[in-house]
Structure 1
Amino acid sequence: MALTPTEAAYLAGQQRGRLATVAPDGTPQNKPVGFDHNAELGTIDIYGFEMESSAKFRNIKLRPDVSFVVDDAVGDGPSGVRFLEIRGRAEAAVLALPPDEHMSTSFIRIHPRRIAAYNIDPDRPGFYGRDITREEAGQ
């Protein structure tokens, strides 16, 4: 399991994240995206409309290292800010059938390698970071 139960619960309560990729010329690209946490595989799956023609899809085929961030503000000041950043390797994947009639069968699957989080665990306030082992990632 790549994500802890607390990290998975945080993601389950969110609808949008930001996917950062690197374009062929080396410039960064950051886009808001919808996502699903695939608990069975321990991955983050990003679906979309005409995904195969998007810059982010082309980017990950050339440079698969990505950063995916989900954040929110539940109060004032630093103690009210929460985020979960997942760094990893992305792959271009294809489904037999689209998850929704308007979505593409192509999607991006992120295999987490590093987690950075802030204030998502009430029992562990503040920042923490951790690497994900091959065993945790199911590899």
Structure 2
Amino acid sequence: MSFTAEEITYLRSQPLARLSTLSADAQPDVVPVAFEFDGTFFWVGGSGPSVADTRKFRNIRAGHDKVALVIDDMVSFSPFIARGIRVYGRAEEPIERTGMVGPGLYTRITPTISWSWNMAGEPVGENWYESRRAVHQIPAGGPDGT
């Protein structure tokens, strides 16, 4: 299973995500990040000399490659309309590439499981939004791929 066309459209419409990594002493760290989604992988990174020393990249380089991303937005408070996608995945060592904010260091994140809710942007009803869970196949050449 993979992302639906509606989920891909949503992912490509959003400029920000929150990325969670885990430090060597097991402290979770969440930061807002610009991201891009190429249809298979998420890319997170940036340019400038200090990017290499960010906590997220230090955590990934230390072997803590399990990450979580949340991409969401609040369409309206009245009526209440929220939507989003939560992704668990594996991050690779940062590499030099040209991405959404220009040339710099980027990590490629391979999604393994995702949950999406309210892609249609409907007001919440009597019950909270149901989520769609997807288990993603790791593509050949991806983390743990063959």
Distance change (3 Å), C-alpha of 1:60 and 1:20: same
Does 2:15 match 1:12?
A: no
Contact 2:87 2:114 survives alignment (8 Å) = yes
How large is the RMSD of aligned CA atoms in angstroms? Answer: 2.8
Counterparts of 1:102 and 1:6, CA distance in 2: 27
Partner of 2:71: 70
Partner of 2:30: 30
Counterparts of 1:83 and 1:54, CA distance in 2: 26
Identical counterparts, % of pairs: 27
Partner of 2:130: 126
Structure 1 unpaired stretches of 5+: none
Please give the TM-score of this superposition, normalised by the length of structure 2.
0.78
Please give the TM-score of this superposition, normalised by the length of structure 1.
0.81
Counterparts of 2:85 and 2:65, CA distance in 1: 20
My pick for the range that moved more, 24-33 or 76-85, is 76-85
In the comparison of the two structures, how many residue pairs are matched?
A: 134
Measured against aligned partners, the alpha-carbon deviations of 1:15-45 in whole angstroms (never above 9, x if no partner) come to 1000000011100000000001012xx1000
Counterparts of 1:27 and 1:78, CA distance in 2: 37
Structure 2 unpaired stretches of 5+: 123-128
Does 2:116 match 1:117?
A: yes
Secondary structure of 1:47's counterpart equals strand
Q: How far did residue 92 of structure 1 move?
A: 1.6
Q: How far did residue 2 of structure 1 move?
A: 3.9
Secondary structure of 1:84's counterpart equals strand
Secondary structure of 1:52's counterpart equals helix
Distance change (3 Å), C-alpha of 1:131 and 1:102: closer
